[in-house]
Structure 1
Amino acid sequence: MAGVSRTSSGAPRGADLFFWAFCLVVLANAALFTVAWLGGTLGAAVTGHGFHPPPFTLGAYLALISGDIGTLWPGASPYAVYAGMLVVALLLVVPAVLAGRRLLDVRGRGVGLARVRDLAPLTPAGIAARARELRPSLAGVRQLTPDDTGNLLGDLSPNGPELRSSFEDVELDLMAPRAGKSTGIAVPRVLRARGAVLLTSNKSDVYAVTRAERERVGTVWTFDPQGIAHVPRRMWWDILADCTSIEGARRLAGHFVASVNDDTAKKDFWISAAQNTLTALFLAAARGRVPVAELLGWLADPADRTPIDLLRDAGLPAMAEQLQGTVRGAVETRDGIYETARQCVACLLDPEILAWVSPDPYLPQFRPERHVLGRDTLFLLSKDGGGSAAGVIAGLADATLRAGVVAAERMGGRLDPPMTAVLDEAANVCRISDLPDLYSHLGSRGINVVTLLQSYRQGSRVWGEAGMDALWGAATIKLLGAGLDDADFVEKVSKLVGQHDVSTVSVSRSRDGSSRSTSYRQEHVLPPDRIRALPKGTALLLATGIRPAVITLRPWYKEPDAARISAQARQEVAAITERAAGKATATPWQANRRETPAAG
């Protein structure tokens, strides 16, 4: 009869299981008997009856089970014998348990994922050494605090150690809503920052938790033109300050265009022409020291020659001629360009928003070049969607980042202490069109940028596929959290994590006997379904030059100082609620009026 191959689902599997179960029972009893045999002998020896081990036989085993201690160790106290057994059991079981736990930890981390030795550059010792190289101010400090060495990422799952990124790393985090972006990333970064902080958001939660704590180390600037946290206006920013150059004016125009253009990588004729027109108008207003309100008047009346004359007076005849050509073009074309430009800056028609970017002699002016040199905090809050101040927010964020680059160059190449920029909801409220190109450069200047997105596709809609690929490639640290539902993206990530060998044993039986063979196949270390099903509070860590790892985030409310910060957050939330209620019941004149200090 031909040989019959039985798979793991056939009858021979039951026979094999019985055989292995029988062997396991025999080995377990032998191990227990060995512990009792050795422990009883040592217990009897310690109490003065000499080291006389009983025979290691089946009869001795049966005597031990029946409790006949006197036959095995004549004259010895049963208490001493049992105590010796217990001591030996503890000495052998404890190491076995520790070894078992270590084995379970390794299995829990997953075959093929990074282990502690692979993550040495991110562990406390490795990151501290790197911090001393990047920060000259730490040269004479013997004992460094953890937050002086790097940015907390989380703990290697399941039992550590703590992992941190260096101060030259730039980070991209992709997580679904309610997956821990705010509690596990944004809030801890702001609380632990050693230098200046920049945060963008469309919610008041991070602001409420961190404002009081950041106020202990520096000035808190809150730019809240749309009342996200209902903070009274106590500052203003000169939106035209950097528009004295063509580059600065074009960048600001680009931010406004990006706020209404779904894909900044694709610009049609009207969008491009509107950006050129806004560039010329911003440049004319900045050179002529004209307020933004008057600039809006130029947009409303294309026939107004004032910006053309200001450009000529500033020695920019080419720009003046270009603007004049647009004004003198076909009426339909001119009106289409100007209407598109008006839509881009429509948020400035709101007097509440306009007031935040217009000079105010009664309030302090926010100056990005000073902010980046200290430990102050800038909160940029804006709604997303229609009517948002996203263009203004992106302009101020970009101005602050570029001020950090200039300051770093003057300090020898890097900011020390480093600056922290958390761009939460970057695709909605902070669309810096060339962010992918700036990313790696910012990291080399000591500006730690963290961009938080809900998905890879969300970023692709803003920066285009090529731009998002560039952002992904420039980020030296990537955290992928729970709820990633983009099948194509998750499949790509699974391939990046890699594969490992899986062995399969097959048994073949015939009349001549049986044979066992082992074959190998490759499986994904983390299949797409496991990446999608990452538990909340965990993330897949992809660091440059290091094998992937799964980490556990460290939410702020589980840290030692959480009680104090929670109390401050409750007070801040109550204040926000009170301000919102007061604004809702106020008359329009009361709600919009500006509070000024009393004379004298």
Structure 2
Amino acid sequence: MPDAIDGDFSRSQAVLIGTWDYDDLAPVPAARHSLERMRSLLTGPLCAWLSDRVFTASNHRLPQDLPDLLVEKFEEATDVALFYFVGHGQIDPDDQLCLALGETSTKPTRRRTTSLTFEHVKHAFRMSAAPVKIAILDCCFAGMAVDQAGRLSDTPGLPQSPPGTYLMMASGPYSTAWYQLAGEHPQPQTYFTKSMIDVVERGIPSQAPGLTIGDIFDRTADILVRDGKPEPGCQIFDRATHFVFARNAGTRATTGWLPVDAKADSLATSGELAPLTDATARTKAGELGLRLTDDDEPGVRIGISVSGGMTMYGSYEQTHLDIWGLRQGKTTSRVIPAVLDAPGPVFVASSRRDVVIATREVREERRPGTTFVFDPQDVSGEQPSWCWDPIAWVRGGSREDLARAEIRAAKLAAHFAHSVDGRDEKSDASFDPEGEDLLVGLILAAAVARRSIRAVWEWLSDTFDDSPVQILMASAPNRNLPAALGLRAQYNTDVRTRNRIFGAAKRMARCLQLSSIYPWVEQDGSRTPLDEARFVEEGGTLYALSLEGRGNASPLVSALAEAVLDAATNQAARSDLGRLPTPMLAVFDEAAHMVRWRDLPRLYRRFGSSGIVVMTLLQSWAQGVQCWSPDGMAALWAAADIRVIGGGLDDIAFLRERFEAMVNDNVTPESTGEQPLSSSQRAVQFSVSDFVSLPRGRVVAFPSGGKPVLMRTVPWWEGEYAHRVRESYARQLAVSSTWAEDIDETPPS
């Protein structure tokens, strides 16, 4: 018999029904959150139900086909049949329990005909061959589900309730069930469901690795009675009380316990994780009107909370900033899983070919869009069958649109100026602004003349060739284009000054001297140019690769990132909702080397609100400071909705700031005994040294507006596509054994 430890519920069926919007009865917002949380629990790691074996019906108006649907669903179950209802309950004149739906009448004579009666549920159970049947009723008068004879049913001519039936009721036959009020709680829940799920998520220490349904009910009843809430009831037949409903989070056996896990509850506890749960992510996706399929994740997975063992998600309007030390699993636990799960277009900037190997085939099978690999430095061995022409992007669709071309020329020049070569500390930085302005003028001239970016390097290599000035002067109606005037002034300055300006610009654009770059950035008729807007619309995948170090192609990778995200932002602005209907994922792995985008901190929040989930990964806070300045890095941290700190960091000042933020976030440091803690305060056992020694496989997430959460990372080999990724690795290994030298962690067999 499968259970939460065995984890095979492929022959089981759960039906969850919740109603919170009523015509004649009072609305119950708490029922909505309870239903979502129950589904999240069942399909999460503690209960391990398959999502396609959990059917959910929300705000059904009238019974109509519901009784037949119950029979149909439970006939499919040969192991476990589970029914859950949350909402109003009523009693009809014959003392029958009526589970209220949206248009259920309050008139006693019409309650049965406008409700889903518990008789319907009992009938569906009897028609099922499942040896274990569980009914959870979170409504008023739930005790009416048990007749006076104490059986689940005594309908003549039908067999008695089969072995293994467990009925759990939030209230007695003539008492009400309670729920939290919307005005007092941001995400109100019914007290019974909340208490039950809290018990499961916290676990029961010193118990077996699996929690039986009897254990869960007993602990839930104790908590409710202790807190002055209505006492729940249960009815058990045969051995149902011993059915293992969930893994026991209290034993730590489900997470591979590490010593730091003992401090998890000093951060966010299971009851404080609502902003990051599956249910919240699904609710947010619905509110945003996103176009997702049943197989899509409700958000971007972060990890599994140590406290409660729940999968944590960022919603599809939240941006991410990760700071992990070297070889701590960023690629295997964050980048690859996020790309595999992404429901829409994906842009990945990385120096690692294993990202392409691990995700390309799965993406091509699951998503309709085209796959592009931009690899001018031969990181993955990809051949240039397409190209991205940065000068064509600057030019745009109209040759006469000089105003837009000027802006894009400045943006493209900024990527060269802000690159590792452009920020060379050994150089004379006094001419850097002039050098960047020179690049702007040359790029604009190349755009006006419909030349490729090769022309920019040719002009930089010949300080006496003033043809760019002539091109721009001829393009302006009154020959007073500001860029043309500025470029002419630079050419007309004294030779020594001009050489230093050109020298600064050549240093910034050093990558353009690499001949391997041009097949990727020039149109020659044999390679299809990238249409950024079409790529976003079709939901494609683009991997932009570059090596680290000076002279690399990262300025072009960074510029390509801006071009694609600019197209995505424009498409979002044109949509009815002001955001992409299917969210986009942009991953900037090793961003300090790959995507040195000067304006990124300023644009971060705009991307999130446009439905573009940006995930920036760094090896240290200092990297970010070097890339964006102290103020820029602070702005990026503030703009990110989900900030994740991994192990391998030794920046004490940065980690101390994070610790002090935790201390000031409605919690206090460990008591010295001089002043007692109030009931709303909790000792912070987590320390700066815990950050420094954070082991591989553990991270601390700082959600915007929420408490920090200790999480277990989930590498790709624990995910849904592990088998497919292993196959991809095996095929690559058969071709070349050298690729494995670059991977973040050796994939387990």
State TM-score, norm by structure 1.
0.74
Cross-structure match for 2:323: 174
Deviations 1:211-260 (A, max 9, x none): 11112223210001101111112111111123231110011001011112
Of residues 421-430 and 288-297 in structure 1, the stretch that sits farther from structure 2 once superposed is 288-297
Q: Residue 415 of structure 1: CA displacement?
A: 0.8
Give the whole-Å Cα distance in 2 for the aligned partners of 1:502 and 1:463: 36
Question: Does 1:198 find its partner at 2:347?
Answer: yes
Question: Does 1:338 find its partner at 2:338?
Answer: no
Question: Does 1:110 find its partner at 2:264?
Answer: yes
Give the whole-Å Cα distance in 1 for the aligned partners of 2:215 and 2:612: 52
Give the whole-Å Cα distance in 1 for the aligned partners of 2:344 and 2:483: 40
Q: Is the 8 A contact 2:263 2:685 kept in 1?
A: no
Give the whole-Å Cα distance in 2 for the aligned partners of 1:227 and 1:358: 17
Question: Does 1:490 find its partner at 2:641?
Answer: no
Give the whole-Å Cα distance in 1 for the aligned partners of 2:214 and 2:572: 58
Letter in 1 for 2:492: R
Deviations 1:140-168 (A, max 9, x none): x7xx4451x21111111154111111111
Q: Is the 8 A contact 1:202 1:429 kept in 2?
A: yes
Letter in 1 for 2:457: L
Letter in 2 for 1:445: S
Equivalent of 2:449 in 285, 288, 301:
288
Question: Does 1:386 find its partner at 2:550?
Answer: yes
Q: How does 1:219-234 map to 2 (within 5 A)?
A: 219-234=370-385
Unaligned runs of 5+ in 1: 1-89, 506-516, 581-600
Q: Is the 8 A contact 2:264 2:307 kept in 1?
A: no
Letter in 1 for 2:410: R
Letter in 2 for 1:359: Q
CA 1:554 to 1:286, structure 2 compared with 1: closer, same or farther past 3 Å?
same
Q: Secondary structure at the match of 1:440?
A: helix
Cross-structure match for 2:462: 301
Cross-structure match for 2:646: 481
CA 1:91 to 1:306, structure 2 compared with 1: closer, same or farther past 3 Å?
closer
Question: Does 1:377 find its partner at 2:528?
Answer: no
Q: Is the 8 A contact 2:389 2:521 kept in 1?
A: yes
Equivalent of 2:526 in 351, 362, 366:
362
Give the whole-Å Cα distance in 2 for the aligned partners of 1:270 and 1:102: 60
Deviations 1:489-542 (A, max 9, x none): 01001111115364567xxxxxxxxxxx98679964421001122221111010
Question: Does 1:549 find its partner at 2:714?
Answer: no
- Structure with higher RCO (Cα < 8 A, 6+ apart): 1
Q: Secondary structure at the match of 2:613?
A: strand
Q: Residue 384 of structure 1: CA displacement?
A: 1.1
Letter in 1 for 2:568: G
Q: Secondary structure at the match of 1:373?
A: helix
Give the whole-Å Cα distance in 2 for the aligned partners of 1:95 and 1:504: 36
Aligned residue pair count: 474
State TM-score, norm by structure 2.
0.60
Deviations 1:474-493 (A, max 9, x none): 00100101111100001001
Q: How does 1:27-176 map to 2 (within 5 A)?
A: 108-137=262-291, 144-145=294-295, 147=297, 149-176=298-325
Give the whole-Å Cα distance in 1 for the aligned partners of 2:482 and 2:582: 43
Q: Is the 8 A contact 1:208 1:573 kept in 2?
A: no
Of residues 113-122 and 437-446 in structure 1, the stretch that sits farther from structure 2 once superposed is 113-122
Q: Secondary structure at the match of 1:137?
A: coil
Q: Is the 8 A contact 1:175 1:455 kept in 2?
A: yes
Equivalent of 2:564 in 400, 407, 419:
400
Give the whole-Å Cα distance in 2 for the aligned partners of 1:503 and 1:231: 59
Q: How does 1:231-310 map to 2 (within 5 A)?
A: 231-244=382-395, 245-259=405-419, 260-262=421-423, 268-310=429-471
Cross-structure match for 2:668: 500
Question: Does 1:347 find its partner at 2:523?
Answer: no
Give the whole-Å Cα distance in 1 for the aligned partners of 2:362 and 2:435: 43
Identity over the aligned pairs, expressed in percent?
Answer: 32
Cross-structure match for 1:593: none
Q: How does 1:448-467 map to 2 (within 5 A)?
A: 448-467=613-632
Q: Residue 452 of structure 1: CA displacement?
A: 0.4
CA 1:136 to 1:201, structure 2 compared with 1: closer, same or farther past 3 Å?
closer
Q: Residue 576 of structure 1: CA displacement?
A: 5.2
Of residues 373-382 and 557-566 in structure 1, the stretch that sits farther from structure 2 once superposed is 557-566
CA 1:131 to 1:529, structure 2 compared with 1: closer, same or farther past 3 Å?
same
Give the whole-Å Cα distance in 2 for the aligned partners of 1:502 and 1:452: 32
Q: Residue 177 of structure 1: CA displacement?
A: 1.4
Give the whole-Å Cα distance in 2 for the aligned partners of 1:359 and 1:375: 24
Cross-structure match for 1:440: 605
Higher share of residues assigned helix: 1
CA RMSD across the alignment: 3.0
Equivalent of 1:540 in 700, 714, 717:
700
